[in-house]
Chains A and B, each alone.
Chain A
């Protein structure tokens, strides 16, 4: 009594089953990609924010030969003050409570023997800094006419320098 009149329905059932399986597979693999993609986007935003703040602080307040706030603070060796002003600019938000970003400032310069040295200008603003934070680094070139105070082994005693201000920025 075997009858093949229902073959068409069987084929349809198999096709539908295959489509459903493929759909489920794609949906499940989608969620696993999301997590890796997500980690890069906040890094990108943080880096852009830090670069913008440094660029703003490196803009002179007045026309003419005015020095920028960044140049002033580096020249005076006031790393802690630089860090605090940088963070104040980073954490500012319209209407909302302040953001919770943390930073540490470094300075790279050339020594007398030609080697490049990097020294911390400030301590980390977060006392619980472990060194394992997911940080981004933003930098800005600064040109100084005189010797920056607090940097003893910079190449020669007078004369202009180009130094690199580096800020580590992370979300606590």
Chain B
């Protein structure tokens, strides 16, 4: 008891270092699981496909703009898109299409697109 021997101190010190290292590794593994979950949730929550689909629907609408205008169906098709979006996708959608104008030598429609589903809001102004 009286004669303590301190020659093995570095072994004890290494043990302590290994324990601290393990502690941090466990912390990293713990965080990585959380990151995987929040990423997947974030991707599911962000309506990427809804917005892309809405854009392509608006551009399809503009492709047939002249035909629709001649027959007076512009408002009908637009109302379809706005009302079905609200009912089935819980998204407030609006878009406007202006008359063709000259943009760097090409005749294009000025288009605004608005999308809001309460979590994500998206606004776009584009010439098509």
Q: Which residue numbers of A lie inside 8 Å of B, CB to CB?
A: 3, 5-6, 12, 15-16, 19-20, 22-23, 26-27, 29-30, 33-34, 36-37, 40-41, 43-44, 47-48, 51, 58, 108-110, 114, 116, 118, 138-141, 143, 155-156, 159-164, 166
Residue B89 CB within 8 A of the other chain: yes
* Closest residue of B by beta carbon distance from A166: B88
Binding site for A on B (CB under 8 A): 1-2, 4, 12, 15-16, 19-20, 22-23, 26-27, 29-30, 33-34, 36-37, 40-41, 43-44, 49-50, 53-54, 56-57, 60-61, 64, 68, 71, 73, 76-77, 79-81, 83-84, 87-89
- Given A20-B19, A37-B36, the answer on whether A143 and B64 have CB atoms closer than 8 Å is yes
> In the complex, what distance in Å separates the CA atom of A5 from the CA atom of B113?
78
Question: Which residues of chain B are near A27, meaning CB under 8 Å?
Answer: 26, 29-30
Whether A5 lies near B81 (C-beta < 8 A) is no
Question: Cβ of B34: which chain A residues have Cβ within 8 Å of it?
Answer: 33, 37
